[in-house]
Amino acid sequence: AQKITQTQPGMFVQEKEAVTLDCTYDTSDQSYGLFWYKQPSSGEMIFLIYQGSYDEQNATEGRYSLNFQKARKSANLVISASQLGDSAMYFCAMREMGNTDKLIFGTGTRLQVFP
Amino acid sequence: DVKVTQSSRYLVKRTGEKVFLECVQDMDHENMFWYRQDPGLGLRLIYFSYDVKMKEKGDIPEGYSVSREKKERFSLILESASTNQTSMYLCASSHYRDYTDTQYFGPGTRLTVL
């Protein structure tokens, strides 16, 4: 069964520093997609970045990059030059390209950025 | 601009009441989803629908039902609310079989059952 594991319940980082949020996944499928979402205290889920299992390059979106290591089944989110507004919950999710469009979510990591 | 709206941001109900949570999307998406979010558990799928009048159980359907009479609207129903259904409820939508696209989320409804 597919599973997403986020082992860091909370992380602290100083403003302007980079931070890595860990995500490992388990699937027997060859085709899948990995997503990261940000959830500020207001509650809405904001899509950050996507990586397909066949993508050869690591995905990047502005200050966000996804460190995809397929053999290790990891998909870590790297935030460069952290800002105070990055303080939020971050969720990793996976979709298998099978018969369903469902996402499986991890338990999340709470990131706090301090001045 | 894509939009998913939910009928209430905050809702307080009493045990035993019938509760309706409404979700509307304006993106012509085929798929719609209802999740509940609890601290330390992440998002768990309650029900989803890939077409009008179609529904499938997610991971935690017990105590819930859904209705999808129109493509843009997906309702979550708590037939008899209980205190253990106090939670944050998130609705989402996406295109059918567009695997690279994200799910788009509503702002969430924080439900308290007293």
What percent of chain B stands above pLDDT 90? 82
Residue-wise pLDDT tens digits, B8-60: 999 999 999 999 999 999 999 999 999 999 988 999 999 999 999 999 999 99
**What is the rounded distance in angstroms from the CA atom of residue B19 to the CA atom of residue A37?**
28
- Would you place residue A100 in the very low, low, confident or very high pLDDT band (cuts 50, 70, 90)? low
How close does chain A come to B91, measured CA to CA in Å?
10
Across the interface, of B88, B97, B103, the residue whose CB is closest to A43 is B88
**What is the rounded distance in angstroms from the CA atom of residue B49 to the CA atom of residue B108?**
18
Q: Which residues neighbour B52 within 8 Å (Cβ) at sequence distance 6 or greater?
A: B68, B69, B70, B71
**pLDDT number for residue A31:** 86
How close does chain A come to B101, measured CA to CA in Å?
8
**pLDDT number for residue A109:** 97
**What is the rounded distance in angstroms from the CA atom of residue A96 to the CA atom of residue A100?**
7
**pLDDT number for residue A87:** 98
CA-based radius of gyration for chain B: 13
Average pLDDT score over residue span B78-90: 97
The residues in A 75-114 lying below 8 A from B, measured between CB atoms, are: 91, 93, 95, 97, 101-103, 105-108
A102 vs B50: CB contact, 8 Å cut-off?
Answer: no
**What is the rounded distance in angstroms from the CA atom of residue B82 to the CA atom of residue A95?**
31
Structure-block tokens of residue A92: 């990793």
**What is the rounded distance in angstroms from the CA atom of residue A17 to the CA atom of residue A114?**
10
What percent of chain A stands above pLDDT 90? 80
Query: When comparing pLDDT for A27 and A87, which is higher?
Result: A87
Q: What is the pLDDT of chain A when averaged over all its residues?
A: 93
A101 vs B94: CB contact, 8 Å cut-off?
Answer: yes
pLDDT at B99 over 90: no
Q: Is B13 on the interface with A (CB under 8 A)?
A: no
- Would you place residue A99 in the very low, low, confident or very high pLDDT band (cuts 50, 70, 90)? low
